[in-house]
């Protein structure tokens, strides 16, 4: 039996199919698998459901600063947001890479770029934000970068108080402030910063003061009495401004006295005078009755109580109680007490939210992208009808 002679074609290697698939080294498959994972629609659904569950728990199980600390400001939650940003970028931009850019696709690219930047801005803001309440009496200046200057505050994980430089000064509180005949109620004349780098302005209900990205808003105000405690020989022992709370009475009027806030309720209370860290001498209850004839005048009401060895007020052993006009001394046992003058105190909201500079412009540009896409679809529809 004759053996067939192999033809020259049989000696040629088997021809490869086109297009030729590149022969990757096994290690080259790892980046591809990572990309496929990040561009997965299934990953997007898992991330969205997780973020939704976290948001629901954040607003139901915790409130306010606690919600920020436990969820929204936590590093793990912001890591999930960053992973969602990467997922969206891989999903969308991986699918349009290399395609011809049209009016419709340009609008979609713009929209998705803005969507990614909005999420990044939210993450940036939650990690570096600051919100606080600073309270000052007229003429008082407090260091902006000292946490003790604030009645309360909350901050992002990576915020540093060194960002708040210089001092915050309340120059004057203007009652009945008007702009173009419109009553703005109360306005605060404020200066912020240090040395030659200072910003000065007037804050009222529709106007804020900004200094290097930090915004100052008006919040609330009240009366503060300059109280001086002396001995019976007239030697001054201590003097300081005592801020008073506004306590609404049953007839709708207000009483101004020392007190504290319990939620939305203001309760009348005594204060240690002098306040710590100085050694207290008495427990003081102070009130103020406004004069209807003259601004920043009227009567001061006093009640003084002795202290035990632990600086606790002895309410059953009152030293003295009474009232005297502003500027007149009041005899109180071994002491004399004087409400020398009336000033205003104000509480300002201080906000540093750097992510807003990214989020707000991105929203507008994203809206423009949607409009461009819509216009492109309308134009394409008209060309098809023609």
Examine the pLDDT at 22 and tell me if it is beyond 50. Answer: no
Contact residues for 130 (Cβ-Cβ < 8 A; gap 6+): 153, 154, 155, 156, 159, 163, 164, 214, 350, 351, 352
% of the chain beyond a pLDDT of 90: 43
Question: What pLDDT shows up at residue 71?
Answer: 80
Distances in Å between the Cα of 302 and the Cα atoms of 25, 50, 170, 280, 308 are 87, 58, 27, 16, 20
pLDDT band at 14 (very low <50, low <70, confident <90, very high): low
pLDDT in tens, 256-297: 898 765 555 556 688 999 998 899 999 999 999 988 888 889
Q: What are phi and psi of 100, to 5 degrees?
A: -70, 135
Question: What pLDDT shows up at residue 268?
Answer: 63
Give me the mean pLDDT over the 91-109 stretch: 79
Residue 238 sits in the same domain as residue 178: no
Examine the pLDDT at 103 and tell me if it is beyond 90. Answer: no
Residue 234 sits in the same domain as residue 332: yes
Question: What pLDDT shows up at residue 342?
Answer: 93
pLDDT band at 5 (very low <50, low <70, confident <90, very high): low
Q: Does 383 reside within a domain?
A: no
Residue 140 sits in the same domain as residue 208: yes
Residue 325 sits in the same domain as residue 237: yes
Contact between 156 and 73 (Cβ < 8 Å): yes
Residue 296 sits in the same domain as residue 341: yes
Report how far residue 66's alpha carbon sits from residue 267's, in angstroms, rounded to the nearest whole number: 25
Using DSSP bridges, classify how beta strands 245-248 and 236-243 pair: parallel, antiparallel or unpaired. Answer: unpaired
Residue 198 sits in the same domain as residue 231: no
Domain count, the chain: 3
More confident residue, 142 or 63: 142
What end-to-end distance do the CA atoms of the chain give, in Å?
A: 74
Question: What pLDDT shows up at residue 229?
Answer: 94
Give me the mean pLDDT over the 238-257 stretch: 84
Give me the mean pLDDT over the 193-203 stretch: 93
DSSP single-letter state for residue 68: I
* 311, 326, 345 - which closes a domain: 345
Domain housing 179: 130-220+348-352
Q: Which of 280, 296, 330 is nearest to 224 (CA)?
A: 296
Report how far residue 275's alpha carbon sits from residue 286's, in angstroms, rounded to the nearest whole number: 14
Question: What pLDDT shows up at residue 262?
Answer: 55
Q: Does 57 reside within a domain?
A: yes
Contact between 301 and 257 (Cβ < 8 Å): yes
Residue 212 sits in the same domain as residue 322: no
Question: What pLDDT shows up at residue 42?
Answer: 85
Q: Does 6 reside within a domain?
A: no
Q: What is the pTM of this model?
A: 0.74
Question: What pLDDT shows up at residue 150?
Answer: 95
Peptide bond into 274 cis (omega under 30): yes
Examine the pLDDT at 25 and tell me if it is beyond 50. Answer: no
Report how far residue 377's alpha carbon sits from residue 327's, in angstroms, rounded to the nearest whole number: 77
Q: Does 68 reside within a domain?
A: yes
More confident residue, 46 or 215: 215
Residue 62 sits in the same domain as residue 90: yes
pLDDT in tens, 355-369: 999 999 999 998 998
Q: Does 176 reside within a domain?
A: yes
pLDDT in tens, 302-325: 999 999 999 999 999 899 999 999
């Amino acid at each position: 039996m004759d053996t067939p002679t192999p033809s020259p074609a049989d000696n040629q290697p088997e021809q490869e199919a086109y297009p030729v698939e590149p022969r990757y080294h096994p290690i080259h498959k790892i980046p591809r698998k990572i990309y496929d994972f990040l561009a997965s629609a299934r990953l997007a659904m898992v991330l969205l459901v997780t973020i939704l569950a976290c948001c629901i728990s954040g607003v139901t199980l915790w409130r306010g600063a606690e919600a920020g600390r436990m969820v929204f400001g936590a590093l793990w939650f912001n890591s999930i947001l960053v992973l969602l940003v990467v997922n969206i970028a891989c999903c969308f931009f991986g699918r349009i890479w290399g395609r011809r850019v049209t009016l419709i696709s340009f609008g979609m690219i713009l929209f998705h770029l803005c969507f990614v930047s909005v999420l990044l801005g939210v993450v940036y803001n939650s990690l570096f934000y600051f919100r606080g309440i600073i309270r000052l009496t007229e003429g008082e200046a407090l260091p902006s970068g000292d946490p003790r200057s604030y009645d309360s505050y909350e901050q992002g994980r990576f915020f540093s108080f060194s960002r708040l430089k210089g001092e915050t000064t309340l120059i004057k509180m203007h009652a009945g402030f008007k702009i173009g005949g419109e009553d703005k109620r109360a306005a605060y004349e404020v200066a912020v910063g240090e040395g030659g780098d200072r910003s000065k302005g007037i804050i009222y209900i529709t106007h804020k003061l900004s200094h290097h990205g930090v915004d100052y808003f008006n919040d609330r105000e009240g009366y503060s009495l300059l109280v001086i405690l002396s001995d019976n020989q007239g030697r001054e022992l201590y003097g300081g401004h005592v801020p008073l709370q506004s306590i609404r009475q049953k007839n709708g009027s207000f009483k101004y006295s020392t007190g504290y806030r319990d939620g939305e309720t203001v309760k009348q209370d005594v204060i240690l005078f002098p306040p710590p860290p100085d050694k207290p001498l008495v427990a003081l209850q102070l009130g103020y009755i406004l004069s209807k004839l003259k601004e920043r005048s009227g009567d001061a009401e006093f009640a003084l109580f002795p202290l035990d060895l632990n600086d606790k007020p002895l309410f059953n052993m009152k030293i003295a109680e009474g009232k005297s006009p502003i500027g007149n001394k009041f005899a109180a046992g071994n002491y004399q007490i004087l409400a020398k003058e009336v000033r205003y105190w104000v509480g300002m909201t201080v906000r540093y939210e750097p992510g807003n500079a990214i989020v707000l412009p991105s929203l507008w540009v994203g809206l423009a992208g949607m409009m461009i896409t819509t216009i492109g679809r309308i134009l394409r529809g008209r060309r098809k009808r023609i």
